[in-house]
Amino acid sequence: MVSATTRSRKPKPTTTTATTTTLDDDKKTGNKKDIKIKKHERERKHKHQEFEFFGPKGAVLITILLPFTCFFLVKACNEEHGCVSLWTIFEHEYEFPKKMFPLLSLRSFLVQVGWFVWCLILHLSMPGTRKEGVILKNGERLEYKLNAFRVLVVTSVVISTLTWLDLIQLRALHGMFLSMLSAGCAFAFALTTFLYVASFRKDRGNDDDASKKKKKTKKNDDDDDDEKEVGSSVLLANGGNTGNVIYDWFIGRELNPRFSRKSTFDIKVFCELTPGLIGWLILNFSFMHEQFYRLGYVTKPMILVNMFQTVYVVDALWNEAAILTTMDVTTDGFGFMLVFGDLVWVPFTYSLQCRYIAENDVEISTAMTVLILMIQCIGYYTFRASNGQKNLFRTNPKSQKVKHLKSIKTQRGTNLLISGWWGIARHINYFGDWLMAWAWCLPCGFKHVAPYFYVIYFGILLVHRDLRDCEQCELKYGEDWKKYCRIVKYRIIPYVY
Ligand code: NDP
């Protein structure tokens, strides 16, 4: 465990007010506020810096476990050897289906790389909206080009047309699933290593700015870490800058990897939204195509899961700018954890329910369908409304929709909502997301436990993510966060947790 102590500062008392600052105000007072936020966070960072995920050993274990789980899910649930149910968990024959052999193929590797390059070309060549991210710890605010929704539209039109004309067989991805998964893993390992090595570069494009800033920093600042970061023009993530190669590779050294600080191409935001999420939908539709090929029609459970997950992805891409205020973008480095999560874990494990439905006879009653639809609608409404409310509050607090909400003013300078969705639970958005997870698994029926992997895993992820985020917020806000927790008592599920 790494810990360090520095000077402490007594936090100023907080007051409960309706919010009063706007984005313009933020810009005008930007410098003062940035310095205040920067100092405040640096003090807390040094006071309490710890390894997450049980340190380097945990990082190694998770690096092995993640790909292992992806492959295991194919072994534990496939049409040749059946699926794990609670009562066959120890007797189950855990084998890969021969239909999905080979495990490695050059064709799949080329498809994987070709898919990434296709997304990249569309992203770079098509127009997009320009948005600024949050103020970073070095006072910089990066600009992002956002056009993932357009990439989705173009890709959908191209794939549907080619499938309609019989020029490609979308369902072929079902047979290639294992080798595509192997190719995805290899790609994720390679990209992570490239990003880790690249994080040691000196960004030539900004050398002049950097040296100016460095001089200024030397005069005014006593923080060695920040000097190093400014000097190299590569902004490092707090958590992924420990000096331990394995841990930093896993968490990610660089916060927002870019070819140059002036470029709007941000590989982390690109991977978070484009190849992984759209790739997930393509796999889902390939399983639907496979079912249609086998049965001559598409079943109700298949339509439900495809529809729900398409809504989820379209929502994420439509509200693309919201990603700029999430923890993945503002706090975490871009290391194996996120690279693998975005490019492999999401498409290959989140599509399990559709694969299961394509390979198994599943039907559900009308009553069950209604129940599932209700769960999905409540979940989606909670998820969208709460995320939208916080995003609007962070970007345009004077908007009519949020200006009546109560918030506490914090010493850090930003306010915390204590009414509306964020007054019900500290992560009510996670609750909505988890409800949707149920709606995506229930169409698979109750014969096997394997298709419920998503809802179980996601529940664990959200609890852990809430703990991580609260820890980060306590570092950012100190006493103010404790006060917020006293006012908003529940973490995720109101009156339960
Ligand atoms: P959140 O959107 O929950 O954002 C957390 C941040 O919001 C905090 O760090 C803090 O940052 C700010 N915040 C916290 N409380 C308040 C408050 N009361 N008022 C104002 N701001 C507050 O983080 P995530 O990135 O974890 O989640 C975003 C969405 O993505 C969620 O809906 C989640 O379910 C979903 N998600 C889905 C995953 C999947 O695999 N399907 C994986 C991970 C997330 P600050 O104060 O610095 O602004």
pLDDT at residue number 235 = 85
Q: Which amino acid is at 313?
A: V
495: left (phi over 0), alpha (psi -120 to 50) or beta: left
Residue 327 CB less than 6 A away from ligand 1 = yes
362 lines ligand 1 (CB under 6 A): no
By mean pLDDT, which of 36-40, 96-100, 231-235, 468-472 is the weakest? Answer: 36-40
Residue predicted with more confidence, 317 or 239: 317
288 in ligand 1 pocket by Cβ < 6 Å?
A: no
Non-local (6+) Cβ contacts of 359 within 8 A are: 78, 79
Residues sharing a CB contact under 8 Å with residue 410, sequence separation 6 or more, in sequence order: 14, 416, 477, 480, 481
User: Which residue did the predictor score with more confidence, 22 or 53?
Assistant: 53
Q: Which residue has the higher pLDDT, 394 or 488?
A: 488
Residue 44 is predicted with a pLDDT of 52
Q: Distance (Å, rounded) from C-alpha 59 to C-alpha 37?
A: 30
Rounded to whole angstroms, how far apart are CA atoms 457 and 185?
20
pLDDT of 6 higher than 50: no
Specify the pLDDT at position 21. 33
Question: Rounded to whole angstroms, how far apart are CA atoms 42 and 238?
Answer: 10
pLDDT-based confidence at residue 88 (cuts at 50, 70, 90) = confident
- Looking at residues 42-61, what average pLDDT do you find? 74
Residue range 251-299, pLDDT digits in tens: 999 999 987 777 889 999 999 999 999 999 999 999 999 999 999 999 9
Given a contact cutoff of 8 angstroms between Cβ atoms, the answer to whether 137 and 236 are in contact is: no
Q: Chain-wide mean pLDDT for the chain?
A: 85
Whether pLDDT at 224 is above 80: no
Q: How far apart are CA 219 and CA 352, in angstroms?
A: 56
Strand stretches in 46-191, DSSP E: 77-78, 82-83, 129-132, 143-146
Q: What's the predicted TM-score (pTM) here? A: 0.83
Taking the C-alpha atoms of residue 222 and residue 42, their distance in angstroms, rounded to an integer, is 10
Query: Tens of pLDDT along 384-393?
Result: 999 999 988 9
Measured from the CB, is residue 319 less than 6 Å from ligand 1?
A: no
Q: In the structure, what pLDDT confidence band is assigned to residue 36 with cuts at 50, 70 and 90?
A: low
Q: Which residue segments constitute the domains of the chain, with CATH numbers given?
A: 12-49+364-497 (1.20.120)
C-alpha closest to that of 79 among 306, 362, 279 = 362
- Whether the Cβ atoms of residue 57 and residue 244 lie closer than 8 Å to each other: no
Most confident of 46-55, 137-146, 339-348: 339-348
Which amino acid does the sequence have at 112? Q
Ligand 1 atom nearest 326 alpha carbon: 25
Q: What is the pLDDT of residue 233?
A: 65
Contact 333, 240 (CB under 8 A): yes
Find the DSSP H helices in 233-345. Answer: 245-251, 267-273, 275-295, 300-318, 327-330, 336-340
Tens of pLDDT, residues 137-172: 788 889 999 999 999 999 999 999 999 999 999 999
Work out which ligand 1 atom sits closest to the CA atom of 477. Answer: 46
Give 411-466 pLDDT, tens digit per residue. Answer: 888 899 999 999 999 999 999 999 999 999 999 999 899 999 999 999 999 999 99
Candidates 66, 273, 309, 327: which one to mutate for ligand 1, based on the most atoms within 8 Å of Cβ? 327
Q: Are 403 and 19 in contact (CB under 8 A)?
A: yes
Choose the residue to mutate in 44, 390, 474 for probing ligand 1, maximizing ligand atoms within 8 Å of C-beta. Answer: 390
**Nearest-atom index, ligand 1, CA of 327:** 25
DSSP string, 179-233: HHHHHHHHHHHHHHHHHHHHTT---GGGHHHHHHHHHHHHHH---HHHHHHHHHT
- Residues in a beta bridge with 146: 129
Tokens of 255: 């916060």
Q: Is the CB of 34 under 6 A from ligand 1?
A: no
End-to-end CA, the chain:
29
Instruction: Give percent of the chain with pLDDT exceeding 90.
Output: 63
SS3 489: coil
Nearest-CA residue for ligand 1 atom 10 is 473
**326 in ligand 1 pocket by Cβ < 6 Å?**
yes
How confident is residue 327, by pLDDT bands cut at 50, 70 and 90? Answer: confident
Residue 204 has pLDDT above 90, yes or no: no
H or E, element range at 417: strand 415-417
pLDDT of 308 over the 70 cut: yes
Given CA atoms 376, 382, 387, 389 in this order, what sign does their dihedral have?
positive
DSSP 144: E
Six token digits for residue 288: 């639907």
**pLDDT of 192 over the 50 cut:** yes
pLDDT band at 25 (very low <50, low <70, confident <90, very high): very low
Looking at residues 351-370, what average pLDDT do you find? 95
Name the residue of 37, 430, 457, 458 whose CB sits within 8 Å of the most ligand 1 atoms, as the mutation to test its pocket.
430
